[in-house]
Each structure stands twice: as C-alpha cells, then as structure tokens.
Structure 1
C-alpha cells in the first residue's frame, strides 16, 4: 500500500528543490530527503527489514530521524522512535515490550544506548552495505509503528498501530487542516511520543516545510516566539494547553504567535486555558484534538470559536472513518446529554498491546452496535454528546494527563517502592495556581537520611521528567479506607495528620 514515503518521493519528482526540512544543520530539499530515505531503506533491506520487523530509531531529531522513520515505512516494516535523552532503563523497556529487532542510530550513540540490538548505523557511508532483496509491500494490516502508554504494572504498554490506520490518519489530518506547499509547520512534540509522528509526517505529506530546532528553544517562551517569527511558522500541530497557558503568561512577549494561522492542541483539557481568557493568544484557527494512543492519535476535533464557552470541555466531532460511542455499564448507548464511558471504533483502532493478550482483550472489545468483526477501544474516559459534539467529563480510573502525556500514578508508585528506604507510596495529582496538573508523592519509611534530591535521582534512572513528582510528602503511615486500601481521596485533601 502507499505510504508517506511515496508522497515524499512524488513531491521530489515534481518540485525537487522545494525545501522539506529546515534544521539546525541547514535546509534539506525534497530531492535530498527522498534520496536519504532510499539510502536508509537500502541499509534496512540489507539487514533483513520486512513487514512486522520493528525497528527502533534512536537519533536526535533532524534529517536522519525523519528519513529513518519514512524508510522503515518504505520497507513495509514498523518503527519505534526513542527519545535518546530518556533513562536507559526506560528505553530498554520500550525496546523489550515493542519486540524491536533492529536499532537505527549513529556510531557515537550506539555504545551508550547499549540496547542489545543489531545496529544499522546511519552515519555509515552510502553504498557501504549491499542492498537486500526488495521487501514485500506492506498491507494495511501490517504493523506501522509502536508507541507506549504509561502502565499500572510499572512497565509501559506497547501499542501496535497498523499501516492502514496510520496512512488514513495522516491523509485525513492534512486535509482537515488544509495544509499545502504554503504551510510552514514547527515540530514541537519530542520523539518517542505519537504526537511527533503527526508533527513530522502530516506536513511532509502535504508538501509543506517542516521546521526542526533544538528542543531547548521550544521550552523557553522568548526563544519559541523568536523561532516562530524567524521561520515564518504558520502551523503548530501538537502543542499542549499547558504550554499555551505558560506562553500567555509572558507579559513581555507581544503577539508570540503572530503569523500562525493554525494551532492544534491535544493531550489534556483545554478548559483552564479558555477559562483564563487565553483564546485571544491564538490569532488564527484553534483546534482542540482528542484521542488516545490506542486509536492513532486523534479521534475527534473541535474548532474553538473566538468567544468560547469555558463551562464545558468540548472535543468535537469524529474524524473521517472514526466511530465514537457513549455507552453505559451494559454497553448500551446513553441518551444525548447523559454521561457515559467513551468507546472508539473505526479505522484508527490499534491492533492491541504487544505481548499483553489479557489487557488487549479487556480494552479492545467487540462493537455490539457495529458489523461483524468490528471492535471498540474502551478509553476509560467519560463523556456526553451535545450540540457541538463530544464533551469530555473526566476518567473512570486513576489516569491523568501531565503536560499532554497520559500518566498512570501507579507507575510512579512502583518506581518509588523500588527505593530501599521507601515502605509505602501513593501518588496523587494536584493543580497549581495556573491550573497546571502535577504529581505529589506521599511516601512512608525511614527516610530521615534520604533527601528529596536522592529520591529524584532514584526515579530518574527509570522515569522521564513528566513522571517526576513536584513534591515528596513524608508520612508516618498512608491513610486507608475501611477495606484497607490507600485512601487517595483523603490524601488529595491534605488531611492526613
């Protein structure tokens, strides 16, 4: 089947000198990008990449990261992108749960990564490896990429997304956003998260220019605004409401999004940003996106009006090919305006969780209202139908969103309990004065000789920054319910003395 690599090659044939990438190392034309994709595809075929081969991509974001992902798709295989700044143990768990068989990296990174996979070195001179036999074309049910979600067992769960689901999503997004050769999109999502796939491939599918800068520039509001201005950015496809809230609080920045005609947000509730009057920060279209990793990034979209109602959290209507059902405990539809659990079906539903058949069976269920063989993903989200589409109403479990990342506090608790001095741990969400969600860690044990900095260093060996608690609260004992379970509601109130 056709992949985004084919579209990049078509742009290269029609407009070879059009700029595809603006990177810290310089600009890259569509002709140069297409040629680099073919070079890496030859290396992959020489190493046996074929449909269902999972290839871990571990390089800093830039030309080779983009070309490597596209080359994997060209071979009909599947990619797993790794953020090389994350802890080794976490990267190793990603590789293990995804069933990766090859590692695409550079010779200077490979020894430090130490992931135990055969390495395809991207800084190897072109032509040094013999081209392997042509790979069989991937069908729509072949695996395209693996992404991860936070897991309650302490090991992130690998989500398996197929070629047909990815291709349908990319083409729908490019059409829905009206992207084209005139678009200049800024890559904001870090590698290792599925939003980075949207950031990377939707603009290139449309023949646009993708701007990639050092991540430090994206995290400092003044540098971010300067980047937007210098590159004449017109589209942001994967920013979080938390970032927009932070940007709007910079009183010394005049019109930081000047010239941007499209801002698409995702990952967490937009309500706090809108309630604080933030809509005026965005001069053009503001699109609220909703969808779990298990359903290929985005399921619904909502165009936020210039004067929004911040009383409800509207996430909009399903994209092409997606099915959204609001069901009760018996899997029966609820009436419009009534809160139920959100189930998602259609073209975006993932294959399941790698190596976890029981969890796959529990979360991916037959669609009682669909044709034979149709499946629904049970999101754990609560919602209701209104005149503007789907309204988000919270969760049925403990999962929360931190800066756009889905977080299960149990994963942090498991890491804390691995510390020899910690005998009990409970992690709860809290909200600061700007409406930003963060984590509080309640811990017990003989911790008189253990500082907060030491606890953070312990967690940093296995957890990324967004899973790091902002504060550690030391208790003699965790409060419990009558049934003996940790009383998290009492912890959330702070009345534990």
Structure 2
C-alpha cells in the first residue's frame, strides 16, 4: 500500500466525501489532497529537500492532517504535538528537533522559533499557492514519515522514527481488522487519542486507507459526558479505536450501549491491557460487535498482533483466572520470547517480548546511544529485518502471545520480585472492582509497601470497609507478600492525555 496514493485516488474518485470531521469543521478528500499539495509546494520551495522534521502543534482541527500530509509530500517527517502536552515538554521537543518551520494550528503557546506559521497564515498560503506538489518530492520508502515522542527513563522524551514503508506495511494489516467494506459503503471511524499519541495512527490512517470518515473527539467533549455521547450517536460509528481505559470510562454510564451506536462493527483496543471485566461489560452492552485486542509499542508502528475476543475465549480465560491474550503476529512480523541472555525461550516460559519485522522503527531521533541499546538487525526467511527489545514481559501458548506487564514495572519487596500488573489483574477478578492501579510506595529509594487505587461498587460500605474486604478476598488468590498494604477507593482513576491510567498523578497522592 501507498497511503498517499490511496488518498489521492479517493480525492479523484470521491472528492466530495468527508475525510475528517471535528466539532463544526470538516474537510473532504478533495480538499485534504489539494490543500496538502499546495502547502507541500510552499514548504519545498522555502526549505528545499532537507530532511529536517517539521513540528505540527495543535489538537483535533482538520488542518492538522493537512499539515501532516503536506510535510511528507515535501519530503519531510512531521512531529505532532498536542495542546494538552505541558509547555516545558513541547519546548524540550522543539529544542531536540530544531525545526526549520513550525505549524501552529491551535493553542496559545509561544514557541521559540522565528518561523512559526499559524492557521490563518496556513490558509493564506493554500489560497495563494497555484502549483501542486510533485510526487518525486514525496518521502521515499526508507524516509522517516513521522516522529512520535514518548517518555524516556531519563525524564527527557524520546523521538520514535517511523518510516513511510513501516506505515504502509502496518496499514496493509490494519485495514483487515475492520471487516469487509462493501461497495459505496463509507466507514465512520472514531478518534479518541490525540495525534501526538501513536494510537491515533490506527484510526487516522486506517480510516483514510479505506476512504472512511474520521470523527475526532476533542478534549472538551471528553470532559462532558452528554456532549461525548451525543457525538457518538451523531457520528454513527462503525469502527471504535481507543485505549481500554477510555472504554471503561464510557461504560460507567449505562447509556453507553448498542442503542447509542447501532451500526458499530468492531472495537479495536491498543495501548494498555484489555481486562476481562471490561470485555465482559462490552459483550453484554454490544453483543453483536467484534472486540479485537491488539498489542505493540510505538517503536513497532502502533501494533503487531491481534486476537478476536469471543464470548467463548472470554469465558475460558476467566475460568482459568488468566489475562486475555494479545494474539498472533501480523504477516511480516516475528514475536519471540527471550531470556536475559538473549536466548529464545520455549512456549509457556516468560521472558522479554522481542519484535522483529517490517514495521520496526529505525530508532530514536538523534539518540544513537539509546537506539543501539534497544534495536538490532537480524535475518528472517532470507531477508534482513530490524528488531526491537520491548522491555515487556510475556509468554506464548499455542502461538498466542500473552502480555504480562513491563519488566521495569517489576518491584522487589522484602526480597520478592513482584509484577504490579499481576496484582492489578487479580484484583479485577473481584466482582466489586472496576479498575485497579497498584503503585510501589518508595522511601529512600526502596520499595516499602504496595498501595492500590481502585474504583468499583461500594455496595453501602465505607471506603475503609471496602478496602478491608478487598484485602481479605485477595488472600484467597494471592500470596501475602503481593497483597497491597492499603486499598484506596477513588471515584475514578485519572487518565493521562493518551487515555491511559495516570500512574504519575496517583503517585503524587501516596
């Protein structure tokens, strides 16, 4: 697949079809292609064929996508930055990238760059430009298409570089997850994640590859249940893409069911663990909708494996008290389990998940030291591929991959090595608990105890009584050393800008 050619084809054949819709603004495929062509011409004329990335700052405005496509049509990678990212972090990214130009589509941040182009100027450029972008100036297969900055262990964000080839290879697979698109059928995709989070690549580019319409959910909407649910109804969604935590938040309201989205075909989940409790509620509320669990880090272009969670698989998993699988690898990918010495482990044995394949990143932007530690090359089926050490713990059974938390989320308490996500998964087996986050309570660099934050049904109990009951029940399923010292009831688990449980914020409450 070549996503840029796909978009151009839809622009030619169905130019009036809506590509992106956000609040009251929208752009058709014809506008998206033409506007990005004109902006690309301006970029190339002013900044030539240098490979310096372009920062695109904003939120869910459709012109964000115009800027993304314009950058790559001018041969340059784009680096998305959402308005919800703290200013100091955005400034650190600007300092790292050293862009020749910044497109500021939304937001009132003052960026330290003499070539900041705001939305009015972007529209003016598009209106005045007469030439169209040349295909020979587009990014090449091995060129970086986008750079997503993720958290780094040093406190500084790391820029993950994804090539045009990686994206196209990913899309060859991701479009198959959505089911068959009939002739003249237009799929409506829901977008929850900000464009600075790579989960958005799943909805944005899969949607554009299928000629669908992307309905973006703004931060303002996500803070208002009524507005958000009205948005879901009006969008008439066919494909849902989000983190499991976001679905959990929606499930707190009984109106979130098939009546609200009668034409929904599939839930696609990625970014964190999909729990059995969340899946059970979804199957009860949306009995005819497929639920697909996927797995993959930013470094391997969103996701590399998938599994359809059927009622039978869910029942079997719950009966065994296990976590749901994350599936089989896509074509062109190998998922292997290695020990600390780099040896492959047999089925059933836990180790580090290693990803090898045609969607693995070329490495971290301007960080050869980190790239050398995390990435490697190796031969598979007579070809050379890139590989990545995920830092994730997992194992395989029957060819299916099971994710078992981060290796770096292992803690040592009183000599015992403990996976905090193991505790969380077991807590979710208790019927009164909806969501659980377990954190180590550190003192002088040492883990002194474990604290659990939970949401659920108090059933008339006080939070203290609820916590004591939970600890009592955990004694039936966990060793004593794995039981949290305190179980704190909260009204809701806060989410970070990417829609995941905000462990950092909760850590501040310890």
The TM-score range, normalised by the shorter chain, is 0.7 to 0.9
- SS of equivalent residue, structure 1 residue 94: helix
Structure 1 spans left out of the alignment, 5+ residues: 414-421, 436-459, 475-497
Paired residues, number: 428
Decide whether aligned partners of structure 1 residues 306 and 179 sit closer, same or farther in structure 2, where only a CA change above 3 A counts: same
Q: Measure, in 2, the Cα distance between the counterparts of 1:113 and 1:227.
A: 32
Decide whether aligned partners of structure 1 residues 128 and 295 sit closer, same or farther in structure 2, where only a CA change above 3 A counts: same
Q: Measure, in 2, the Cα distance between the counterparts of 1:356 and 1:370.
A: 30
Which of 200, 205, 211 matches 1:207? 211
Which of 259, 263, 268 matches 2:267? 263
TM-score normalized with structure 2 length: 0.75
Decide whether aligned partners of structure 1 residues 88 and 192 sit closer, same or farther in structure 2, where only a CA change above 3 A counts: same
Q: 1:327: Cα distance to partner? A: 1.5
**Is the Cα–Cα contact under 8 Å of residues 5 and 71 in structure 1 kept in the other structure?**
no
TM-score normalized with structure 1 length: 0.77
Decide whether aligned partners of structure 1 residues 154 and 26 sit closer, same or farther in structure 2, where only a CA change above 3 A counts: closer
Report the counterpart of residue 374 of structure 1 in structure 2. 385
Q: Measure, in 2, the Cα distance between the counterparts of 1:364 and 1:313.
A: 28
Q: Which moved more, 1:387-396 or 1:176-185?
A: 176-185
**Is the Cα–Cα contact under 8 Å of residues 326 and 343 in structure 1 kept in the other structure?**
yes
Decide whether aligned partners of structure 1 residues 330 and 248 sit closer, same or farther in structure 2, where only a CA change above 3 A counts: same
**Is the Cα–Cα contact under 8 Å of residues 38 and 133 in structure 2 kept in the other structure?**
no
Report the counterpart of residue 293 of structure 1 in structure 2. 298
Report the counterpart of residue 281 of structure 1 in structure 2. 285
**Is the Cα–Cα contact under 8 Å of residues 185 and 234 in structure 1 kept in the other structure?**
yes
Please give the residue correspondences for 1:8-407 in structure 2 after superposition, counting only pairs within 5 Å: 8-48=7-47, 50=49, 52-106=51-105, 109=107, 112-116=109-113, 118-124=115-121, 125=124, 126-128=126-128, 134=134, 136-178=137-179, 180=181, 181-237=185-241, 239-251=242-254, 253-255=256-258, 256-274=260-278, 277-283=281-287, 284-307=289-312, 308=314, 309-310=317-318, 311-367=322-378, 373-387=384-398, 389-398=400-409
Q: 1:227: Cα distance to partner? A: 1.4
**Is the Cα–Cα contact under 8 Å of residues 46 and 133 in structure 1 kept in the other structure?**
no
Decide whether aligned partners of structure 1 residues 129 and 47 sit closer, same or farther in structure 2, where only a CA change above 3 A counts: farther
Q: 1:368: Cα distance to partner? A: 7.5
- SS of equivalent residue, structure 1 residue 433: strand
Decide whether aligned partners of structure 1 residues 382 and 64 sit closer, same or farther in structure 2, where only a CA change above 3 A counts: same
Structure 2 spans left out of the alignment, 5+ residues: 411-419, 425-436, 458-495
Q: Measure, in 2, the Cα distance between the counterparts of 1:434 and 1:367.
A: 47
Decide whether aligned partners of structure 1 residues 465 and 269 sit closer, same or farther in structure 2, where only a CA change above 3 A counts: closer
After superposition, give the CA deviation of every residue in 1:195-247 in whole Å (9 maximum; x if it has no partner).
1222212101111111124332234444333212112111112x111122222
Q: 1:117: Cα distance to partner? A: 5.3
**Is the Cα–Cα contact under 8 Å of residues 56 and 104 in structure 1 kept in the other structure?**
yes
Decide whether aligned partners of structure 1 residues 432 and 133 sit closer, same or farther in structure 2, where only a CA change above 3 A counts: closer
Q: 1:265: Cα distance to partner? A: 0.7
Report the counterpart of residue 481 of structure 1 in structure 2. none
Q: 1:267: Cα distance to partner? A: 1.1
Instruction: Say if 2:438 is the partner of 1:433.
Output: no
**Is the Cα–Cα contact under 8 Å of residues 44 and 120 in structure 1 kept in the other structure?**
no
